[in-house]
Amino acid sequence: MRLEGKTAFITGAGSGLGREAAERFAREGATIVAADIDLEGAEETIDRVESAGQSGTALELDVRDADAVHAAVDGAVSEFGLDIMVNNAGVSHERAKVEEIDESERDRVIDVNVKGVWNGCQAAIPHFREQGSGAIVNTASLAGVIGAPQLGAYSLTKGAVVNFTRTVAAEVGPAGVRANAVCPGVTDTAMPRKNRTEEEWEATKAEMSRHYPLKRLGEPEDIANAMLFLASDEADWITGQALVVDGGFSCT
C-alpha cells in the first residue's frame, strides 16, 4: 500500500473531493484526520475510512481561523504524526460578471480558498521541516490556470493557490518537503450541482461533456487519484507543479 504508516490531514473532508481523497488514501493505508466545518460530514467520512479498515478522527474546523487550524494540526501531530497535508476546503459563488460580484461575497471566497490554504500550509510546514519530509497537496482548479468567465472571485483565488504552491515548494524543498496543486476541471460534486435539480444537472452535464475531448466530466475518484499520486512517494521528485486533471478541456 502506497501510504502505509502515514497520516494525512485533509480539510474539506466532509464531502466531495475531500471525502473521496480520505477514502482513497485510507485504502492505501493512511491514517486520516478528516477536518471540515461540517462535523457530521467529517464523522461520516471517518465511518467510511474505518469501513476500509483504517483509523482516523473527525474534527470540526473552520479553515479561515488560523489559530484553530494551527491547534488542529498540532493536535494531529501529537496523536498521529503528520506526513501529508491536503488543503482542500473551498467554496465558489454564483456566476456573475466581475463588476456585479458583491465585496462581501468576494471576501468570503478569498477567506476560505486563499486564507484556508495559507493557514493549512503555515501550520504544517514547521512539523515537516522538523522531520525532514512531508507532502502538501493544495486543491486549486482549472479556473486557476485558464480564464473562467463569470467566476472572477473563484478564479482569482485558485490562481493564487497555484502560484502560492510554487512559492511554498521553492521554500521548503531544501528541507525535503514537497508542495503541489491539483487543478480539477468540472467534476461531479455538490458544487456544480448547486441549485440544479437532478434532471437539470444531467442535461447540463451532457452539454458540458461535449466540450471535453474525453467526452465526460470528472468524477471525484479521478481527482482523488491525482491527489494520491502527488502525496505518495511515487511523486518524490515532483514539486511546485499544478497538475491539471480536466479530461483534456484545456488543450482544446
CB 58 within 8 A of CB 46: yes
Radius of gyration of the chain (CA): 17
With the CA atoms of 143, 146, 148 and 149 taken in that order, what torsion angle do they form, in degrees rounded to the nearest 10?
A: 170
Question: Across-strand partners of 139?
Answer: 182
Between CA 146 and CA 250 the distance in angstroms is 8
Q: Where are the alpha helices (DSSP H) in the chain?
A: 16-27, 39-51, 66-80, 103-110, 116-131, 152-172, 190-193, 198-209, 220-231
Q: Closest Cα partner for 153 from 195, 97, 88, 87?
A: 97
- Residue 154 a catalytic site member: yes
Single out the catalytic residue among 118, 154, 164, 249. Answer: 154
Phi, psi of 120 (to 5 degrees): -65, -45
**Helix axis angle, 152-172 to 116-131, nearest 10°:** 10
Neighbours of 4 (CB within 10 A): 10
Between CA 221 and CA 19 the distance in angstroms is 10
CB 9 within 8 A of CB 33: yes
Catalytic residues: 154
